[in-house]
Amino acid sequence: MEKVGYLGPEGTFTHEAALLYAKGKQVYLVEYPSIPDLIYGVDKGQIDHAVVPMENSMEGTVNVTVDMIIHEVSVYITGELVLPIHHCLLAKPGVQLDELWVVLSHPQALAQCRKFLYERLHGVELRATSSTAAAAREVMMGPREWGAIGSKHAARVFGLDILEENIEEHNGNCTRFVVLSRQQSKPTGCDKTSIVFSVDHKPGSLYHALRIFAERHINLTKIESRPMKTSLGEYLFLVDFEGHVQDAVVQDALDELAGQSRYFAVLGSYPRFT
């Protein structure tokens, strides 16, 4: 039976994503205390796959995930999942909102609920935790006056009441998770590929790199820059596009791009989440 790792404890959004990935499969879920531990776990062969957060529609890239995939480990992206993120205010059974003096959650969750916290819980102490589920667990074990921002799933796992639902500031809040494995995935006919490359410091060098995709009608779905971690002002470009590395048109494009790049690597081809 394959082992699939996720960022624990049970009740995190990553746990929800891992359950979604595991649906219909014979797998064993393994909890990890941090994203680096989780990514090292799959790299070292402790687990077969790892489900990790890659980006959030409100807060952007999860830097530790992206940077570790690029710089520190030899794993491939083999899948993706997109999970709607809805935050709830959780408390011990019977506690009312005006009884709360402390609210705990992951820093991103606190940021995504900033308006609600200001308008409904102004002056309450905010404390950061390693995950939304860790916050829910601390509330379960802590004083009556503590509340947590977490999911309905976390409320069920830890036996907490939901005082308010959907307290995030913006509709459409969602997180993209990726599955990391040591082996690449096969083409499905509906795939996405992630690559990373760098170009010379010359006028038009990035334009000429991206032109390779435009000329072949390959649709780019994401582009961002990340520090090369060599010297100030040196950047890598992370690009996602539709297609698989085994597609002839993609192979042709990547061969040309690799030939004119200072650094080039394929991070993985995988089924697109639909």
Fold match flag (2-84+173-181 vs 88-164):
yes
Distances (CA, A) of 249 to 68, 193, 222: 29, 13, 19
Considering only the C-alpha atoms of the chain, give the largest distance between any 2 of them, rounded to a whole number of Å: 64
Domain ranges of the chain: 2-84+173-181, 88-164, 191-271
The Cβ-side half-sphere exposure at 254, using a 13 Å CA radius, reads 23
Core vs surface per residue 140-157: b (16+ CB within 10 A) or e? beeeeebbbbbbbbbbeb
In a structure prediction context, what are the per-residue pLDDT tens digits for the chain, which is 274 residues long?
A: 899 999 988 999 999 999 999 999 999 999 999 999 999 999 999 999 999 999 988 878 999 999 999 999 999 999 999 999 999 999 999 999 999 999 999 998 999 899 999 999 999 999 999 889 999 999 999 999 999 999 999 999 999 999 999 999 888 889 999 999 999 999 999 999 999 999 988 899 999 999 999 999 999 999 999 988 888 878 899 999 999 999 999 999 999 999 999 999 999 999 999 8
pLDDT for the residue numbered 131: 87
pLDDT for the residue numbered 8: 87
C-alpha to C-alpha distance for 18 and 5, rounded to whole angstroms: 8
pLDDT for the residue numbered 231: 80
Amino acid at 220: L
Told to judge if 177 belongs to the known catalytic residues of this protein, a careful annotator would answer: yes
pLDDT for the residue numbered 234: 84
Q: Between 3.30.70.260, 2.70.98.60, 3.40.50.1000, 3.40.720.10, what CATH number should domain 191-271 receive?
A: 3.30.70.260
* Active-site entry in 12, 78, 129, 175: 175
Q: Read off the pTM.
A: 0.89
pLDDT for the residue numbered 202: 87
pLDDT for the residue numbered 192: 98
* Domain 2-84+173-181 = CATH 3.40.190.10: yes
pLDDT for the residue numbered 65: 96
The pair of structure tokens assigned to 98 is 């005006």
pLDDT for the residue numbered 122: 94
* Active-site entry in 177, 197, 213, 241: 177
Handedness of CA 258, 185, 35, 47 (dihedral sign): negative
Does an H or E element contain 259, and which? helix 248-259
What is the Cα Rg of the chain in Å? 21
Superfamily of domain 88-164 in CATH is: Periplasmic binding protein-like II (3.40.190.10)
